[in-house]
Each structure stands twice: as C-alpha cells, then as structure tokens.
Amino acid sequence: MAIVRVALDSRSYDILIEQGVLDRAATHLAGYARNGRLVVVTDRHVAAAQLPRLEASLRAANVAVEAVVLPPGEQTKSWRHLEELLDALLALEIERGDHVVALGGGVIGDLVGFAASILKRGCHFIQVPTTLLAQVDSSVGGKTAINAKAGKNLVGSFYQPSLVLIDPSTLDTLPARETRAGYAEVVKYGLIDDPAFFAWCEAEGHRLLSGDVQAREYAIERSVAAKAAIVADDERETSGRRALLNLGHTFGHALEADTGFSDLLLHGEGVAAGMALAFRYSARRGLCPAEDAERVTAHLKAVGLPHDLASAHVKADGAALVAHMLHDKKMAAGTLPFLLARGIGQTFLSKDVVLDDVAAFLDEDRMAAG
C-alpha cells in the first residue's frame, strides 16, 4: 500500500492507495464508525457498481451502513441537492463527531465535503473516490463546493477530509470517456512543474488508459504526492502556489459554462482543452516555445481528449467565452489571474492578461484549427 501524507498540522491526514482496498475498507474505516455506524453518500451509478463492495466489508466488521443515494452528474452539485443531502443527514441524526463517507467521483466528493463543512457547523468526512479525476485531484486538498447559476464552484469552503481511501480497481467499471477525462488531471501535474512526468505520460499514458494496474498506481501516487506537497505549502491559495493547480481551469470552466455544465463536455475534458489553449496562448504571447504547445496539443489529441474549441463542442465566440470568465471565483479587483507557461513544467501565474486579447486569441485559434 502506498501512503501519502497531507501535512497540515492538526488537520493532517493520509491518502491510502492500493488495488482492491475497497474490499478491505473496514480495516481503515471501522475506527471512524461512531456507535458502530457509517453513513455513505453516493450516486446511483456508483451505488450499483461499488457500494456493495464497501457494504460487504463494513458489515463483515459489524459496522452498520446507511446509504444516501443521489442522482449522477454535474447537476447534482446544486443548491437543490445540497438541501436534499443535508435533510437526509439530519434525518439520520448525524452529529459533529460523526464521519460521512463520500463514495463517488468529484461531484459526490465536492458536495459531501461542503455539506459536512456546514452541517451543525461542521462534522467529519472521508473521501473514497471512484473516478480517476477524483483519485488524482478533487478528493485531495479540501476544496469543496457546489455550482451556482453564475458559474462553477462559486459556493463552497476549504474543508479537509479525515482520510482518503483510493482503490484503482474502481476504474474497471468506469466508462473509457470518464477515465480519459480524469487523465487530463494526471497530465496537468507534469505540465505544472514536472517535465519528466509529462514525458512519462507521453510514453506510458496509454497503459494507464488501457487498465494497466502498475501504470494506474504509479500515476495516482505521483499525482497525489504532487498535490499534497502544494496543499501543505499553500492550503488556501494565499501565496499563489496552489493556484498552479488551476492550470487549464480558467479556459476550461468557460468552455463548461458554454456547454451548460452538461455531459456534452466533462470537467476533465474542459481542463484538457483549457490546458492546450493556455499553452497555445502562452506561445502566442512569446512566453512559451511553439513546439512545447504543439507537444501538449498532440498528446491530448492522441489520447482522445478535446484540445481546441471544436473538439470541446464549443460554439461561442471569444467575447462570449470571456464573459463567462468574468464570473470566475479568482477575480480580484477586476483582474483575472491566468495560469500560463514558459514551457512544459514551467507554469506560472500571470496577472497582466488583458481579456480582450484572450477573446481575440480564442477567435484566431478557432480559425487556425479550421
């Protein structure tokens, strides 16, 4: 078993990574069951595919399981479903000392984490991520949120879990498209500050996507170790280092907004296209070698991820996409910081980007792509 520690003083916690650990979950979770019970929140798809494995392990250890099952999809990260979840948890008489288990992808993890942060002014929660995107990114670091009409993740809190339990075998039941979407977040860690890892992705990423266990475990451990180090250094994005984890997200969230936060463009797909756009925009400004931007685009395209506006199913022009960016939660004093790059593994935060220039670039990029 690989163990990665997120070092946050009294709020430190472990990330446990092991193939098949969901079938042995009671070994790690039974100690969190107050009065011999755990409440598990999941969605309908995960309830069918993975909940029986978790329940069997816990019940064999005499831990009772109460399950709250929500609809799948990004639309579940909403006020309506937050209220539904809070009412369900209150009906189950969750107390401050209890731990709620989030079993699912990023939507469930974000929603449960936010609910835990506000229920009775804070109870505890445990992340058991079942998608690649959640395993390598959203389950780690304590960002919890729901979406609002104005945009994605605009209502939320920083609230750390007590434990993250990662079983790569849950990816066996994941649709190939969902795995590819999660892979975008793996690639991101190489592009931020680890060019050797990006080179590994270029050479070995296909193994991860085809289900190779060793490739999965290696990529997950390396990704969460990178994120854990950044979170420990800058938990609430006060120094700017944690902002590096948003590479591709400013462009990506605008693309998601244009497609209605729907299944037309999954979050990881939006991040993939956003990273390609960020590198091409950096090259356009003379910050990044054109060949590095071409490498990023080529790799994302090779694994079947969106890499431009057309492949992301985005029809809006540059001005409309920039209008979506104005609702970004990172706006400060009328300025929107952008993650740009001086090359692969050389991402940096820029605060001098002119949005009209971004709009012009987006229109030009669409035309260049044909």
- Catalytic machinery residues: 121, 143, 185, 227, 237, 242, 246, 249, 253, 267
SS (H, E, C) 335-367: ECCEEEECCCCCEEEECCCCHHHHHHHHHHHHH
In terms of Cα–Cα distance, which of 5, 170, 16, 155 is closest to 80?
A: 155
Amino acid identity at 204: E
Does residue 347 contact residue 192 with C-beta atoms inside 8 Å?
Answer: yes
Q: Which residues contact 133 (CB under 8 A, 6 or more apart)?
A: 105, 106, 178, 181, 182, 184, 185, 267, 268
Taking the C-alpha atoms of residue 167 and residue 134, their distance in angstroms, rounded to an integer, is: 11
In terms of Cα–Cα distance, which of 284, 283, 298 is closest to 343?
A: 283
As a whole number of Å, the end-to-end CA separation of the chain is 48
DSSP 17-44: E-TTGGGGTHHHHGGG-GGGEEEEEEEH
Does residue 325 contact residue 357 with C-beta atoms inside 8 Å?
Answer: no
Ramachandran bin of 211, using left for φ above 0, alpha for ψ from -120 to 50, beta for the remaining angles: left
SS (H, E, C) 187-215: HHHHHHHCHHHHHHHHHHHHHHHCCCHHH
**On the CB side of 320, how many CA atoms lie within 13 Å of its CA?**
11
Residue 129, classed as helix, strand or coil, is strand
Taking the C-alpha atoms of residue 83 and residue 110, their distance in angstroms, rounded to an integer, is: 14
DSSP 136-180: IIITSS-EEEEEETTEEEEEEEE---S-EEE-GGGGGGS-HHHHH
Taking the C-alpha atoms of residue 94 and residue 88, their distance in angstroms, rounded to an integer, is: 9
